[in-house]
Amino acid sequence: MSSSQATTKMHIRSATIDDCELILGFIRELAVYEKLEHELVATPQILAKTLFGDKAYAEVLIGEYEGEPVAYALYFHSFSTFHGRPGIYLEDVYVQPAMRGKGMGKLIMSTLAHIALERGCARFEWSVLDWNAPSIAFYRSIGAEPMEGWTVQRVSGKALEELAASRGKED
C-alpha cells in the first residue's frame, strides 16, 4: 500500500463532547499499557466538563482508520517564557496495538506539529516513560530529542493538598 493510499484510509478529527466515552476508553487502554490503570479516576462526566465545558483545559484528536476510531491524542497549550510564545504539550498519544506501525502515530504527530505552527507555537513537547523503548524509537525517528538534564517534578494527592494548605504559613 502506498503512503497516499494509507493516508486516504486514515483520518484525524477533533473530538466532540459525544466522544467522552470513546476518549475514556482510549485513556483506559493507555493506562493498562503503561501499567497505571490503578491511577485512573476520570469519568465521561469529568471529561465532558474539563474538555468541553465553559473552560476547556485540553483538546483531543481522534485517529480513525476506515472510519473506525483507533487512536487518540490529548494536548494543551504550555508557554515558553524564553520564546515568549505558546507551545503544545502532548499529555497522551495512544494507537491501538493492531494499528501500530501503519502510519497512524506519525499522522497524529504531524497533525499536532501542523497545529503548533498554525497557532504560532515555539515548540511541541511531551514526556515518555523511560522503559517504553518502542515509543522512544518512534519519537527519535520523527526528529524528537530528549531534554537532557531535565527531570519532571510532580505534586499531587495529599502532598498537593498539604502544599496548598501551607499557603501563607511561615516555616
| pLDDT tens per residue across span 106-149 | 999 999 999 999 999 999 999 999 999 999 999 999 999 999 99
Instruction: Considering the candidates 65, 72, 94, 139, report the single residue annotated as catalytic.
Output: 139
pLDDT of residue 68: 97
pLDDT of residue 1: 40
**What's the pTM?**
0.90
Pairing of strands 68-80, 85-95: antiparallel
Residue ranges and CATH numbers for the domains of the chain are: 3-165 (3.40.630.30)
Rounded to 5°, the CA angle 111-114-118 comes to 140
Q: Each residue of 61-83: pLDDT tens digit?
A: 999 999 999 999 999 999 999 99
pLDDT of residue 7: 55
Residue 42, pLDDT > 50, answer yes
Let me know if 75 is a catalytic residue. no
